[in-house]
Amino acid sequence: MTSVTPSDLAALDATAQADLVRSGEVSPLEMVEAAIGRAERVNSELNAIIHERFDRARSEAVAVDPQIGAFPGVPMVLKDLDGASAGEPLHLGTRFLRDRGYVATANSELNVRFSKAGMVVIGRTNTPELGLVTSTEPAAYGPTRNPWDTTRSTGGSSGGSAAAVAAGIVAVGHAGDGGGSIRIPASECGLVGLKPSRGRVTLGPEMGEAWGGLVARLAVTRSVRDAAGLLDAVHGPGVGDPYWACPPVRAYRSEVGADPGSLRIGWVAQPPDGSFVTDPQVAQATRSTADLLLELGHQVTEDHPVGLASADTTGHFLVAFGAWVARELDRMAELAGEPVPEDGVEPGTWFLAEGGRGVSAAQYLAAVEGLHRASRSLVGWWNDHDLLLTPTIAELPPTLGQFASTAEEPLTGLFRSSPLATFTAPFNITGQPAISLPLHLSSEGLPIGVQLVAAPGREDVLIRVASQLESAQPWFGRRPGVWAG
């Protein structure tokens, strides 16, 4: 390493780190060693990385060609819920797979694409059990703590990845989103969280779809250009995928800084069903973002899809959700070669699975059909609009300890998670692209994210406006209290 210090590297996004490697100023091994040092410095305080792969990362870094791939030598982390690596732990946040020492037998295609981009994984990150709640506090591994305030949640289910990126250990954290699990951690940890369109990024070869098509995967980052560059590197269907998103007209990285024109943008700050009230600071952050978009030349009105308030959609989701959880337990049993016992998972997981086993095939299909009807109603709003602005979550990052289920109260985690996913989950149902941006801080110094949602397949519009907001109200220089650099 020349004049660039490890502290300097922590402050860079992945694009800048890759530029240093490509220019020869920093070697891939030096880049990875610096990230390992940062992890060793702060991970004990955060509990973000639960499976270290430091030695393997060093070996892989030596083999990286600095001139090949979009992000040569750039260190990253993988979430323990997916992104399988052959011969390495994959526990899905559960005691069942942890106690049996399960290791994956194949690589996920997304992980292969990260590797082809030149990235080097230094560890696997904490996640709530099966990604079922919106806080990363699994019984199997304990809570991940927020670098901005270690008494607070990092969100879920990509909370371990978000903590690692927010603290400066790495610039990129692999993430997945079935109801907000990229965007919620991004909001709570002050990051960019882009959920791609359904079918944009393959889930293969393990799955054609997850949770009936609700799950999308990518990453949490600290800059919009990193999110765009990662999407360029990994998008596209895998062999035999059931969904294919329309390919982009040009590279997503080209959309960063591109003029979006004057767009029709609606916004909402309060939950349309009136079930609770948005925190005043979060509501104000949403309003001020709407004002900023107006100043930037967009046509901004207080308007939103009527279908956001539908109680029927929630009912359909809960029926399908139980069936999905039951299938997750069956899949774990197939991986381990033995049934999952009741004490192998948390009480809430077992309760949901037992309910799911009582759902008939006809009831499940009716629920999915109901979600599809809701999608048509919601997406129709974009016939007359380009973007929707909402809070990402309607409150400040919650304190840890509110999400644990017990045998007496097995649904505590689900009930506590529901309001946090109010503004995110509808767009998993529709499969639309959405992004959380860390535009604001509360009076306590906690991150507040706002969400933009585009029409299906229009990540290009999201990236243009997100980069416009990033330039108008920069966040990159902010540092949390726990900072690895």
Residue 298 φ/ψ, nearest 5 degrees: -90, 160
Model pLDDT for residues 154-175, shown as the tens digit of each residue = 999 999 999 999 999 999 999 9
Question: CA 202 → CA 64, 238, 252, 327, 482, distances in Å?
Answer: 24, 5, 17, 20, 34
The CATH code of the domain at 6-304+387-472 is: 3.90.1300.10
Model pLDDT for residues 84-129, shown as the tens digit of each residue = 999 999 999 999 999 999 999 999 999 999 999 999 999 999 999 9
Cα separation, 137 vs 458, in Å, equals 34
pLDDT for the residue numbered 437: 99
Does residue 1 carry a pLDDT above 60?
no
Question: Is residue 322 very low, low, confident or very high in pLDDT (cuts 50, 70, 90)?
Answer: very high
Cα separation, 45 vs 328, in Å, equals 31
Other CB atoms closer than 10 Å to residue 100's CB: what's the count? 16
Cα separation, 170 vs 291, in Å, equals 33
What average pLDDT does range 29-37 have in this prediction?
98
Q: What is the 3-class SS of 249-305, one letter each residue?
A: CCCHHHHCCCCCCCCEEEECCCCCCCCCCCCHHHHHHHHHHHHHHHHCCCEEEECCC
What average pLDDT does range 456-478 have in this prediction?
98
Catalytically annotated residues: 79, 157, 181
Model pLDDT for residues 413-431, shown as the tens digit of each residue = 999 999 999 999 999 999 9
Tell me the one-letter amino acid at 432: Q
pLDDT for the residue numbered 414: 96
Does residue 463 carry a pLDDT above 60?
yes
> Does the reported pTM lie above 0.75?
yes
What average pLDDT does range 271-299 have in this prediction?
97
pLDDT for the residue numbered 309: 75
Number of H helices, E strands in the chain: 16, 11
What average pLDDT does range 209-225 have in this prediction?
97
pLDDT for the residue numbered 37: 97
Does residue 137 carry a pLDDT above 70?
yes
pLDDT for the residue numbered 4: 82
CA angle 363/369/373 to nearest 5° reads 140
Whether the CB-CB separation of 477 and 485 falls below 8 Å is answered with: no
Please give the helix or strand (H or E) that residue 106 lies within, else none.
Answer: none
pLDDT for the residue numbered 330: 98
Question: Is residue 343 very low, low, confident or very high in pLDDT (cuts 50, 70, 90)?
Answer: very high
Across the chain, mean pLDDT equals 97
Task: Please count the residues of the chain.
Answer: 485
pLDDT for the residue numbered 307: 86
Does residue 69 carry a pLDDT above 80?
yes
Does residue 332 carry a pLDDT above 70?
yes
The two tokens of residue 351 are 């309760």
Model pLDDT for residues 296-318, shown as the tens digit of each residue = 999 999 999 998 878 889 999 99
Other CB atoms closer than 10 Å to residue 300's CB: what's the count? 21
pLDDT for the residue numbered 2: 59
Question: Is residue 283 very low, low, confident or very high in pLDDT (cuts 50, 70, 90)?
Answer: very high
